[in-house]
Amino acid sequence: MQAQAGAGRRGRDDIEALIIDILLVLMAFTVLILVRIRHLFTVVVLSGIYSFLMATVLVALDAVDVAMTEAAVGAGVSTVLLLGALHLCKSEEARPAHKPWIPLAVSVSTAALLIYGAMGLPDFADPDAPIHHHVVPRYMQNETDVPNVVTAVLASFRGYDTLGETTVVFTAGAGVIALLRRRRKAVEKADGK
């Protein structure tokens, strides 16, 4: 009976890993198509699909808070921003004058080095990996009385990170407004003439 339960559990775990792998393959396919396509509207739609796939992978990897943010901000806000920019610019990418052999060589050699390095990392889902020790067991003790550990760490243990993030977003917002205000003035001037 117990052996059967153990086997069922192992089967479920295998399926869990398989689902993650399949989603990762889908993401890789999306990106490969995205690299090749020149029509920018299609590229934006593909990057939206990529973001939603990423959100699904994150759910499978138990990062539900990150998945929610990625679906809302990565797939939603980014796509809207890109479509807005496309509306203001041309939507067809020019054909490059020459074949991109040098970038390809740089990318492939970087990939080879990184994969070689990644082989030295701990196995996937290894409970003894260093990442699961150090400060994490303390976060899990529910010191702040917030059952969602991610919220507890974000707002309490690492609250200053979030403050820094707010500063970055504020600076970026101020930059966008400064850049696009000049544009509006220029348009008004042109209309005045």
- Interface residues for another protein in 100-159 (CB under 8 A)? 100, 103-104, 106-108, 110-111, 114-115, 118-119, 121-125, 127, 129, 131-132, 135-136, 139-140, 142, 147-150, 153-154, 158
Sign of CA dihedral 96, 48, 77, 68: negative
Please give the distance of CA 172 from its chain centroid, rounded to a whole number.
19
DSSP symbol at 135: T
* Nearest distance from C-beta of residue 1 to another protein, angstroms: 19
* Nearest distance from C-beta of residue 53 to another protein, angstroms: 10
Tokens of 166: 């707010």
Contacts (CB under 8 A) with another protein, residues 16-45? 16-17, 20-21, 24-25, 27-28, 31-32, 34-35, 40, 43-44
**Is residue 49 part of the contact set for another protein (CB under 8 A)?**
no
Sign of CA dihedral 66, 14, 53, 110: positive
Nearer to another protein, 1 or 174 (CB): 174
Burial class (CB in 10 A: 0-12, 13-18, 19+), 53: buried
SS3 39: strand
Contacts (CB under 8 A) with another protein, residues 74-103? 74, 77-78, 81-82, 84-86, 88-90, 93-94, 96-97, 100, 103
